[in-house]
């Protein structure tokens, strides 16, 4: 009950902070004004102990005990400043995040960059799904941390608000900032289980689109580099005094498929996308060329990781209503 109440409270403060600070640019430098700081539970315990010490020292009119109490009290206030400064001026920059399939966990990389002349200690980055272990960022250093966000559906996953916090130096205070950076991660549809065979729609045989693979067709000449096979040297061109040239072949005899949205009639939108995703993944794994045809989207057959990413992203971001209307 209490934990649910706290969680609700936390959501509300996050929403409020989002309204207050707006969307943060990338990179964001933490300004001192947006850093919140409160005593931790240990800090409150320490304050109570200091109060007891204060009462005791006053009661016995013991100046040295009072002096120790004041010393520790002043030290606590100093620690508060250190805690606050440990965050102020820190730069947060988005680092890479890899696309994931729906149902997996997206990992957002965030780089903490310390441009200050002193090291920063015990920095924690957290969102409602967990936190990264505390790190130390040396002066002029940079540490990349991962934040996990579960990705249940395809589409663009926003990294919702997260916080950067610290309890340095003594764990008596906790300083933190709420951040709302506009970071997105592409979530591909979840590949459906392998039950439907790929559509037998062969569009093209022997098409050579991939310049980096295969050696079926003559593709042209290029300048000789040390290490090229002597059998590939174009001696005829050399005889024509065109310099040392090498014959280049490219292309494989590939059978390319075109995966079509329309061929999957009878399924729901998400199911169709999942099936298309499965086909794309299988074709890519088998090294076959494939194309994709969605309402409003047409991707010509090709091979390679870039092509795969393009196709999967199209699937991830497919908006049926926009396509129809």
- Residue matched to tokens 């039950």: 195
Point out which residues pair with 28 in neighbouring strands: 92
Minimum distance of other proteins from residue 164's CB (angstroms): 15
CB nearer to other proteins: pick between 6 and 44: 44
Overall size of the chain counted in residues = 325
- Residue matched to tokens 């310049």: 211
Minimum distance of other proteins from residue 115's CB (angstroms): 4
CB nearer to other proteins: pick between 53 and 237: 53
Minimum distance of other proteins from residue 303's CB (angstroms): 29
CB nearer to other proteins: pick between 7 and 45: 45
Minimum distance of other proteins from residue 67's CB (angstroms): 5
- The tokens of 286 are what? 């088998």
CB nearer to other proteins: pick between 82 and 224: 82
How far is Cα 138 from Cα 141, in angstroms, rounded to an integer? 5
The DSSP code for 67 is H
Between the alpha carbon of residue 197 and those of residues 25, 171, 278, the distances in Å are: 46, 59, 10
CA 32 to chain CA centroid, Å, is: 26
Minimum distance of other proteins from residue 170's CB (angstroms): 5
Minimum distance of other proteins from residue 248's CB (angstroms): 31
How far is Cα 89 from Cα 116, in angstroms, rounded to an integer? 7
Minimum distance of other proteins from residue 139's CB (angstroms): 7
CB nearer to other proteins: pick between 77 and 286: 77
Residues that bind other proteins (CB under 8 A): 32, 42, 45-46, 49, 52-53, 55-75, 77-79, 81-82, 84-85, 88-89, 115-118, 121-122, 133-136, 139-140, 167-171
How far is Cα 251 from Cα 70, in angstroms, rounded to an integer? 81
Minimum distance of other proteins from residue 199's CB (angstroms): 41
CB nearer to other proteins: pick between 8 and 38: 38
- Residue matched to tokens 């209490």: 2
Point out which residues pair with 223 in neighbouring strands: 245
**CB environment 272-293: b (16+ within 10 A), e (fewer):** bbbbbbbbbbebbeeeebbbbb
Angle between helices 305-317 and 269-286 (to 10 degrees): 180
Between the alpha carbon of residue 188 and those of residues 94, 185, 288, 295, the distances in Å are: 21, 10, 20, 18
Consecutive H or E run containing 80: helix 63-87
């Amino acid at each position: 009950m209490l934990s649910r109440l706290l969680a609700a409270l936390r959501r509300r403060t996050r929403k409020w902070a989002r309204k207050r600070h707006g969307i943060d640019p990338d990179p964001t430098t933490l300004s001192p004004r947006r850093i919140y700081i409160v005593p931790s539970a240990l800090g409150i315990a320490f304050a109570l102990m200091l109060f007891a010490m204060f009462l005791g020292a006053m009661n016995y009119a013991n100046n040295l005990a009072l002096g120790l109490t004041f010393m520790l009290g002043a030290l606590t206030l100093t620690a508060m400043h250190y805690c606050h400064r440990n965050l102020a001026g820190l730069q947060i920059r988005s680092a890479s995040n890899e696309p994931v399939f729906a149902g997996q966990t997206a990992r957002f990389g965030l780089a903490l960059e310390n441009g200050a002349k002193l090291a920063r200690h015990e920095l924690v980055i957290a969102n409602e799904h967990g936190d990264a272990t505390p790190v130390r960022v040396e002066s002029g250093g940079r540490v990349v941390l991962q934040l996990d966000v579960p990705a249940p559906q395809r589409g663009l996953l926003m990294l919702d608000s997260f916080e950067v916090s610290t309890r340095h130096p003594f764990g008596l205070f906790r300083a933190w900032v709420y951040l709302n950076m506009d970071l997105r991660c592409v979530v591909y549809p979840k590949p459906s289980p392998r039950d439907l065979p790929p559509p037998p729609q062969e569009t093209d045989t022997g098409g050579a689109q991939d310049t980096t693979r295969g050696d079926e067709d003559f593709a042209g000449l290029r300048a000789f580099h040390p290490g090229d096979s002597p059998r590939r040297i174009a001696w005829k061109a050399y005889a024509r005094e065109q310099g040392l040239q090498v014959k280049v072949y490219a292309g494989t005899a590939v059978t390319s498929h075109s995966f079509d949205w329309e061929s999957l009639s009878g399924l729901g939108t998400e199911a169709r996308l999942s099936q298309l995703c499965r086909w794309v993944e299988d074709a890519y794994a088998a090294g076959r060329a494939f194309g994709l045809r969605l309402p409003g989207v047409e991707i010509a057959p090709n091979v390679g990781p870039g092509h795969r990413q393009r196709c999967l992203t199209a699937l991830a971001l497919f908006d049926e209503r926009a396509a129809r209307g």
